[in-house]
């Protein structure tokens, strides 16, 4: 696998970028709705909860309430939906996408820059074990072959779901105790979760770190990134 392309790639069309960004924005909104309504959905509509937000804690909480086919089908699809979209952003924008990521998530940016020289080998276990948005974007920017990306991403997701399913079976009683607690205090917990989501979205917007805001301005910010020399280039 090649290293990051330092040359600016031909910018994709505005329409192409929005065909990628729009479903990502929808997924971000769905995840926030899932977090906000979790106390209502976790026992009444467990499949809807992981369809909205398949974070680990939700998967563990609902796994014993779902049959294997529903759990694996919906869980796999929801976890995989955003990964190819971020891979495409990385592939289309190359190093400029990683520079954009560095500005939005400095911790990940520094980590991946440090590991860049080893990414030809490190990318494969990373995609298998931790295929988050930033890792997928970096894989696309680094030119990971599509077939390898798909195989690692799908297989890693299935293994993750299996491990969480086993964990849910082992922790069946504690999980049921948590769900019973949620049932008993559903109304106040719902107020808390909605309040936390609203505050989180507002605070990120206030600080200029909101995911949706970042995505809607992605083209402009990448243009700014292209016009600004990287710090490591300035130091040469």
Torsion angle, alpha carbons of 22, 28, 31, 37, to 10 = -90
pLDDT of residue 6: 47
**What is the full per-residue pLDDT of the chain (236 aa) written as tens digits?**
555 554 555 667 778 888 999 999 999 999 999 999 999 999 999 999 999 999 999 999 999 999 999 999 999 999 999 999 999 988 988 878 777 777 766 666 666 666 666 666 677 888 999 888 888 988 888 888 999 999 999 999 999 999 999 999 999 999 999 999 999 999 999 999 999 999 998 988 777 667 777 777 777 777 666 555 554 454 54
pLDDT of residue 228: 54
d(CA 67, CA 82): 24
**pTM for this entry:** 0.85
| Spatial CA neighbour of 37 closest among 200, 193, 184, 179 | 193
d(CA 210, CA 212): 6
pLDDT of residue 216: 79
d(CA 211, CA 133): 12
| DSSP helix, strand, coil percent of the chain (3-state; round to 5) | 80, 0, 20
Domain limits of the chain? 14-229
């Amino acid at each position: 696998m090649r290293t990051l392309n330092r040359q600016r790639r031909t910018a994709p069309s505005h329409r192409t970028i929005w065909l990628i960004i729009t479903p990502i924005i929808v997924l971000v909104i769905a995840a926030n709705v899932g977090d906000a309504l979790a106390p209502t959905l976790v026992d009444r509509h467990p499949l809807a909860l992981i369809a909205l937000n398949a974070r680990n804690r939700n998967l563990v909480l609902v796994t014993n309430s779902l049959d294997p086919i529903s759990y694996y089908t919906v869980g796999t699809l929801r976890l995989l939906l955003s990964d190819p979209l971020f891979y495409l952003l990385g592939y289309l924008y190359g190093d400029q996408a990683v520079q954009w990521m560095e500005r939005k998530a400095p911790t990940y940016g520094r980590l991946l820059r440090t590991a860049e020289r080893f990414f030809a080998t490190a990318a494969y276990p990373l995609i298998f074990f931790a295929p988050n948005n930033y890792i997928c974007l970096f894989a696309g920017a680094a030119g990971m072959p599509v077939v390898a990306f798909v195989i690692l991403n799908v297989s890693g997701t299935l293994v993750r779901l299996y491990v969480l399913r086993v964990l849910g079976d082992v922790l069946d009683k504690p999980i049921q105790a948590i769900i019973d607690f949620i049932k008993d205090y559903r109304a106040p917990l719902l107020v808390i979760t909605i309040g936390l989501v609203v505050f989180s979205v507002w605070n990120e917007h206030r600080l200029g770190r909101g995911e949706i805001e970042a995505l809607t301005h992605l083209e402009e910010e990448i243009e700014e990134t292209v016009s600004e020399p990287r710090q490591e280039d300035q130091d040469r």
